[in-house]
Structure 1
């Protein structure tokens, strides 16, 4: 059973989410503030987290940052903040998706399923190989990246993007394909997601992120991986 941690200080919303998620076979854990969310994430090890940004004690972005210090669990932000600055800040902190209130339950459930699917997808066949670059190593079978002998901490979404590029190394992967395969077919215009996540990947992987050698942008078209 997939375990969902719902973090929100609105009792009615938490109740609605608990009813809908439980009815669809999810195990639901709740927290009403940031401190409780951090404790619950550590104690219960959820499969996915649905998180409000406007918490009474700690800003949601700080909660994301705290969780990302030790976990790659998918995090879906559920917030009334509609500005692009808030969205980018949440994604930059390590969130995997951003849903704006008010929201449709079907849409939230679809995004939740996609987040869990990205985190649990296994690879096989021709993907069972190790790809070396001058700066880092990508192990597609183990879903790991190592740089300077140390594992690199990637979120499920970061890994999904990198894996797609590595599996198509040397070839251009379009923005639409990346968005459709990693987020879903309804996200093909959300190109700001790509800018945020590829900036994060380059900071983690490239020796000189401002002049990347391996994760290459083809302006207006897409991205390409060069080993």
Structure 2
């Protein structure tokens, strides 16, 4: 699967940006895969939490934000001005379509 400079291999559970592999934790991998598979679609924090951590997760919703921040540090040239993972204030996140990046 491709999105802009990224190539995602579900079979290998690996992600590359411009040909260079990006090492992700299992949780980061699941979160990036979810976002790329639903490219252009806004996902609420609750939707992300359910998909990545499961419906029975007991804890703070901020775990989503913390993991997004870590992923941005690995994927983005400038994590403070992200080009790939967009924050939807008061809602959640969206992986920008390739033509928006």
Q: Do they superpose with TM above 0.5?
A: yes
Q: Secondary structure at the match of 2:29?
A: helix
Q: Is the 8 A contact 2:3 2:36 kept in 1?
A: no
Map of 2:33 onto structure 1 = 163
Structure 2-normalised TM-score? 0.84
Q: Which has the higher helix share?
A: 1
Q: 1:208 and 2:78 equivalent?
A: yes
2:2 paired residue among 131, 150, 167: 131
Map of 1:144 onto structure 2 = 14
Specify the structure having the higher radius of gyration (Cα).
1
- Aligned-residue offset at 1:142: 2.9
Q: 1:192 and 2:94 equivalent?
A: no
Map of 1:219 onto structure 2 = 89
Map of 2:48 onto structure 1 = 178
Instruction: Compare relative contact order (CA 8 Å, sep 6+) and give the higher one, 1 or 2.
Output: 2
Q: Is the 8 A contact 1:180 1:188 kept in 2?
A: no
Which runs of no fewer than 5 residues in structure 2 stay unpaired?
A: none
Length, aligned pairs only: 97
Structure 1 pair 188–163 and aligned structure 2 pair: CA distance change class (3 A) = farther
- Aligned-residue offset at 1:141: 3.8
Structure 1 pair 213–150 and aligned structure 2 pair: CA distance change class (3 A) = same
Residue pairs, 1:1-227, within 5 angstroms: 130-134=1-5, 136-187=6-57, 190-226=60-96, 227=98
- Aligned-residue offset at 1:151: 1.1
Q: Is the 8 A contact 1:176 1:188 kept in 2?
A: no
- Aligned-residue offset at 1:147: 2.2
Q: Is the 8 A contact 2:39 2:94 kept in 1?
A: yes
What is the CA–CA distance in structure 2 between the aligned matches of 1:162 and 1:208, rounded to whole Å? 17
Runs of 4+ aligned structure 1 residues displaced above 3 Å come to none
Q: CA RMSD in A?
A: 1.7
